[in-house]
Every structure is written in structure tokens, then in C-alpha cells.
Chains A and B, each alone.
Chain A
Amino acid sequence: MEKIALFGKAPNELSEIVERLGMQEFSAKQIAEWMYKKHARTFEEMTNLPKLARQKLEEVYSVGKTDFSNVQTSADGTKKYLFPTTNKQFIEAAYIPDDDRATLCVSSQVGCKMGCLFCMTGKQGFQSQLKAGEIVNQIDSLPERDKLTNIVYMGMGEPFDNLDEVMRSLEILTSDWGYGMSPRRITVSTIGIIPAMKHFIENSESHLAVSMHTPFHEDRRKLMPIENVYPISEVIQQLRSYDFGKQRRISFEYIMFKDINDTPRHVNEIARLLNGLRCRMNLIRFHPIPGTPLQSSTDQRIMEFKDALVKKGIRTTVRASRGQDIFAACGLLSTKERIKMQSPDF
């Protein structure tokens, strides 16, 4: 019988388990501390638990942390880690060091259902949801864990299509009983699933990034099928109804496609849509993927676009492309080659 992983469980869930095993109530807090603060990977390391208690735990449970199974290193220092999941699939996480910052881009699903035209993860379809423990494991099992300054949920999958587990993972990362990270060091990215986005805004303090990619409904629904259900104009309207304070950040991701979304007409419409909303734009070079007719805008066009947005009063940055040579850059994460394909229904 497969052992149940404790990693990813909150203290109240651990309390039920220790009670069931006849252990002292405070053991739950101790286990949480060992897993999340002291990074223990086995029960044997939890030396302030009685030996008998450790043996009882070992019989039914595992800590549930998983080592990465492969790592690739880019010429620019970016590293792409491959992690196995509990159901024998794989996910990728990208570690991006940059001067005094070190960011980890984590996955929230195996594959993705959203089918965006420009995304490599979307090409593999959807395989499964990650549990909170599997999301946090990408951080805890990272060799560079202690250097991390920022976590971004921008790896494989749509975080808000796995909202429960993503929220649980955020709780583990930001709680005093967990990693105690500031929520301001965490950004969750979404293509704009409105009900889930509202839940996140109301129940988390972390930053939000929304993938816009074009301000026009007709164009966006060709790039991103979700636009048919949750249009970007409605997403922005919903964002206007919240007070994000001065510390919490909303940003819009905007991949630059040559002649598709990089014209003055797009600048004007973005300015109209975002008028009065305190936010920033992140412009991203497109990293071409097989079978897609899209091309990246030139660097010159990207800079002109940025300048035009800034002139409209929109704080705009251009994101550096990192890890492109190891397919770790934005939109390139995929474990398609490792999927045992099920019989499709078509």
C-alpha cells in the first residue's frame, strides 16, 4: 500500500493524524516544524519525537518530499529542474538567478487545459493536478532553496485551474507554522479565470499577474480560448472592484508577437483598458515553439512599444529572456516527451 504523504498538510490535518496514532497533541506542531522549517526529509530526522511515534508514522505515512530527477543548466545560469510526481508523471521548475535576486518558477499542474496558441505546456494537454505538497516540494527540494528571494507560479499549468491546492501551497509558504515567507515575495499568474481570481484576491496577500497578450477580444480568443468564457475586459473590470493597497502588485504579462499585438492601436487600447488601474505591464519576448505561426516582435519594436506605454502613464518593463537554450524560458516548459499517452477520445 502506498504511504500517505504528510508534506503539504496543515497543522490541523496533522493534529488529526497524530491523534489517530495516539501521539501527543503537540507532535503535530513538531512535525510541521521539522518538515517546513528544518526541511527534514525522513521521520528519523525528527529527533524530538519519541522513537515509537516515529515508527508508527513510518508504518502508514511518508514525509513525501521528492528529489529532482534531472537538472539542466543554461549558459546564463538558469537551471531547469525535473521533478517526478506521485502519479509517475513529471513537472519542471525553473531557477533564475539574477544579481541579488533568485526566482523560482514553479508548476501547478502536469500539463495544462488552457490550450494557448503560443505555449509549449499547452501542447501536451492536461495530465493531472498537483497536490499542495508537490507544488511546495519544488521549493523545498531545490538545492538553491536558501538563496531564493521570489517565487512565481508561472511554470506548467494554470494555477487557478487548481485553486484549492494552490491556495494550500500559499498558506504553507506564508504561514508562521510553514516557511514564513512574505506573500509579497510570491506572484501567482493566471490567464484570468475570474471566479478563482476573485477567491485568490480575497484570500491571499500575494501578487497577481494576469496574462493579457492582446487587449482585443476577437484577437485574444484566437490566442487564448479562455477569452470565450472570461474576456480580458471583464477580468480588468473585476480587478477595479478591489483595493490592492500600496504593497500588493497587479501586473499584466504581454508576450510580444510580430504584427499581431505590437502596434500603436494595441497601445491605445491597453491604455484605455487599464486607465486608472494601478498596475504594471511586463513585456515578454516570444520564444517560438514548433507548429505555431507566431513570431516574436523585434527588440526595437518591443522597446518602442514599451516607450509608447510609458508615455501613456503605464509602468512597463521588458522581461529578460532567461534559459532559452535549455527550454526553460517563458512558455517553453513541457514534459510531453515523458507522457505515457492515454487513448484519446478523438
Chain B
Amino acid sequence: MDTGLSGFIKKLPLQAQPLIRLKEISSEVFVISINRNHDFLPGQVVAVTTDFSIPPRLYSICSGNKEKELSILFNVKHDGTLSPKMAQLKKDDTLFVSFPFGAFLGDDKPAWWIAAGTGIAPYRSMLRSGLGNNKTLIHGGRTTDSFYFSDEMTAFLSDRYIRCCSQQSGEGLYNGRLTSWLQNQEDLPLDHLFYLCGSAEMVVEVRDILIGKGVDIDRIMSEIYF
């Protein structure tokens, strides 16, 4: 069992919160919502668990910072202990949640937001917090149902929203890996910031591509699923 880094966030104060809603937005991918009791900055994370016998894990907030509810996005890991339990929760069940923290923060400067899978979460929070102008979102996924919140993203970002689908093809999708799409870009906006969010594999591979294409490391911000 991989209890992982966040498996030992035991000493963060966790607050009991009744669950408002659990919505399956794609196969085994859920948005969980609770009341927002703290201010937060878009891009921050919370530590979450269902009970104290299960070590909490970190999840990026995917809701806007002015909304009444605080939401997180998660997918079910069958070899995990927490996410299968979270997927079984019902309205008013208790969730234990830390205060928001973290420094992977959005701002109003021009940027590319690059995500794989549920790594879209912090960008949705940034978008819903009013930071979506002058942003381009590049989202990678295996299948056509991997592009969570795509209606919302399309409505706001229009042609600044690129979906890279590695295992299926579909209308409006780039058929190939996110890294292939990036490799094919001839002129990256080197004066932009580049935000990366996803697995360690994705982050290191994308970071190498960006650096290889002349992006200064000072312009690259990374958040890894720890």
C-alpha cells in the first residue's frame, strides 16, 4: 500500500465538515463539495480524509475563491485507501479537511496552464477566481472523457483551450500526447509563465521540453501529485 507523502500529514489540524455534494463527473472521477470556511488563494491545496484511521492526502481546490462551497477533484485509485472511501460518501457524511495552504498560486500575468488528468483542478480554481484572462490551457488525458470541466473551459477560453488525447480521437481534440503537442510548437511565448500540474513523470517531461525550447526556468512553476 502506498501511503505516500501526504499519508503523514497527520499533524495538520483537520476540521470535520459535512459533505454537501459528491458528483461523478466522469468514470470514477468525482467532485466533492463542502462549505468554504476559510479564505484561500487559487492554486492552494487542502489535506483531506474520511476518518482518522486513514492518513489524509493533499488535493488541489478546484472551486473559485469567492464561492460559498469549496470543491476538490479526485479520481478513484483502486490500490489506495482514501479515494475509494471518498467515492462512497453521501450527503452530510463527515469529511475531515485542513485549512488551505500551498504556494502554487495563479496571478494575472499571461501564462500557459499545462495539466494532465486531475491536474486541471488548480486551473479551474484560478479560472473561477477571475484569473482566466490571457491564459492558455493545455490539458492531456488518455481518453475523450478525461477532459473534466471541458464545457466550462471551452466557454471561457475558446481556442486557448487545447485538449490532447493520447488514446482516442475526437472532434476538437489533438490526437496524441500532451508532450507531442508541445514538441510540435515552434514558437513558445517565452515571456509567459508556464504552470505545470500532474504526475512527476508528466512534470519532469514537460519541464524538459519547455527548457529545451528556450523557456527560462524562472518562468516554470510546478505542482506534482505528491
Min CB gap B200→A, angstroms: 4
Interface size on A, residues (CB 8 A): 40
Q: Are A221 and B103 in contact, CB atoms less than 8 angstroms apart?
A: yes
Number of interface residues of B (CB under 8 A): 48
CA–CA, A297 and B211, complex, Å: 20
Name the residue on A nearest B217 (C-beta). Answer: A222
Contact (Cβ within 8 A) B199 A345: yes
Contact between chains at A112 and B200 (CB < 8 Å): yes
B74 to chain A, nearest CB (A): 14
Least Cβ distance of B178 to chain A in Å?
A: 4
Smallest Cβ-Cβ distance to A223: which chain B residue: B217
- Cα distance A121–B226 when bound, in Å? 16
For B140, the closest partner residue in chain A by CB is A346
Q: Is B160 an interface residue (CB 8 A)?
A: no
The answer to whether A225 has its CB under 8 Å from any CB of chain B is yes
- CB neighbours (8 Å) of B61 from chain A are none
Determine if A96 is an interface residue (Cβ-Cβ < 8 Å). no
The chain A residue sitting closest to B43, CB to CB, is A228
Chain B interface, >50% SS class: mixed
Given the complex, which residues of A lie within 8 Å of B208, measured CB to CB?
Answer: 123, 291-292
B37 at the interface (CB under 8 A from A): no
User: Does A97 lie at the interface of the complex (its beta carbon under 8 Å from any beta carbon of B)?
Assistant: no
Q: Is the CB–CB distance between B200 and A114 below 8 Å?
A: yes
> Which stretch in B9-17, B62-70, B89-97 binds the other chain?
B9-17
Q: How many A-B residue pairs have CB under 8 A?
A: 121
Is the CB–CB distance between A125 and B199 below 8 Å?
yes
Residue of A nearest to B180 (CB): A346
Evaluate whether A122 and B202 lie within 8 angstroms (CB atoms) in the complex, with A158-B5, A343-B142 already known. Answer: no
Residues in chain A near residue B5, CB distance under 8 A = 113, 158, 160-161, 193, 196
Judge whether B164 is part of the interface by a CB distance below 8 angstroms. Answer: yes
Who on chain B is nearest to A218 by CB? B218
Complex CA–CA separation, A249 to B84 (angstroms): 41
Q: Is the CB of A115 within 8 A of B101?
A: no
CB atoms of A346 and B218 under 8 A apart: no
Residues of B within 8 A of A344 (CB): 116, 166, 177, 199, 201-202
Q: Which residue of A lies closest to B75 (CB)?
A: A345
> Is B132 part of the contact surface with A, judged by Cβ < 8 Å?
no
Whether B226 lies near A346 (C-beta < 8 A) is no
How far, in angstroms, from A140 to B180 measured CA to CA in the complex?
A: 44
Is A102 an interface position by the 8 A CB rule? no
Instruction: Report how far A164 CA is from B201 CA in the complex, Å.
Output: 24
Known: A345-B140, A346-B202. 20 other contacts (CB 8 A): A113-B199, A113-B224, A114-B226, A125-B199, A125-B201, A126-B199, A126-B201, A160-B5, A161-B4, A161-B226, A222-B220, A223-B217, A225-B224, A229-B45, A229-B103, A291-B212, A343-B142, A345-B199, A346-B164, A346-B198
Q: Give 16 CB contacts A-B under 8 Å.
A: A113-B224, A114-B224, A115-B203, A115-B222, A125-B204, A126-B199, A161-B226, A199-B10, A222-B217, A225-B222, A225-B224, A228-B103, A292-B208, A293-B217, A346-B117, A346-B141
